[in-house]
Amino acid sequence: MGLPFLPPPVRLVVGILAMDEGSMKAATDHLVAQFGAIDFILEPIPFRWTNYYQDELGAAPLRSIIAFESPIARETVPDIKLWTNHAEIVLSGTSEKRKVNLDPGYLTMGQFFLATTKDQRQRVYVRDGIFVEPTLYYENGTWMAFPWTYRDWQSEEYRVFFDEARRRFAYQRTTGRSWGSRSLKKT
């Protein structure tokens, strides 16, 4: 019989999809004010995988992904998703349309999950109207996608981001120190 245990903390990762650079910066600043220091970031790149967001975010939105330094308990993800939903409204100001779309999730050494409010066959209900979806898994030294994984999350740019975020998270789990706090040896 297996005994229940609390899993180790995970790395908070938030994808930002923004209509322009100003909205991206505002969203990044808002997230940092809430969740603290950034450990690693995918600098903004053109979002080219779908035109699904075109009516809200325009024809040329930007994508960034942030991995935060402070580990979180995975059971806090519903609270984070509810907070990011509200943050989208706050960041839109008086506009009736969103200026940003925030996609929170969490990274373990072998998995990446996205939080969502939408139910589908592959999503697991957590609480308070929030589901999590297994989005990527780590196998044989690389990030792999599931059949349902959105195309952008399967891209090479994202895989490079997740490789580095995983490496930094492994360092933190092993040493108990953040990547940024490591000292560089002088030669």
Res 185: pLDDT: 53
User: Into how many domains does the chain fold?
Assistant: 1
Determine, yes or no, domain membership for 2. no
CATH number of the domain that residue 127 is part of: 3.30.70.260
* Domain extent at residue 60: 10-177
Per-residue pLDDT of the chain (187 residues; tens, 9 = 90+): 889 999 999 999 999 999 999 999 999 999 999 999 999 999 999 999 988 889 999 999 999 999 999 999 999 999 999 999 999 999 998 888 899 999 999 999 999 999 999 999 999 999 999 999 999 999 999 999 999 999 999 999 999 999 999 999 999 999 998 898 876 554 4
Res 187: pLDDT: 46
**How many CB atoms sit inside 10 A of residue 9's CB?**
17
What are the φ and ψ backbone dihedral angles of 172, each rounded to 5 degrees? -65, -40
Q: Counting Cβ atoms within 10 Å, is residue 63 exposed (0-12), middle (13-18) or buried (19+)? A: buried
Determine, yes or no, domain membership for 186. no
Spatial separation of the C-alpha atoms in residues 38 and 32, rounded to whole Å: 7
Say whether 130 sits in a helix, a strand or coil: strand
Q: Are 138 and 144 in contact (CB under 8 A)?
A: yes
Task: Provide the strand spans (E) within the chain.
Answer: 10-18, 38-46, 62-72, 100-107, 111-116, 124-127, 130-139, 142-145
Determine, yes or no, domain membership for 187. no
Determine, yes or no, domain membership for 185. no
Determine, yes or no, domain membership for 27. yes
Query: pTM higher than 0.85, yes or no?
Result: yes
Determine, yes or no, domain membership for 3. no
Say how many CA atoms lie within 13 Å of 90 toward its Cβ: 12
Determine, yes or no, domain membership for 146. yes
Determine, yes or no, domain membership for 128. yes
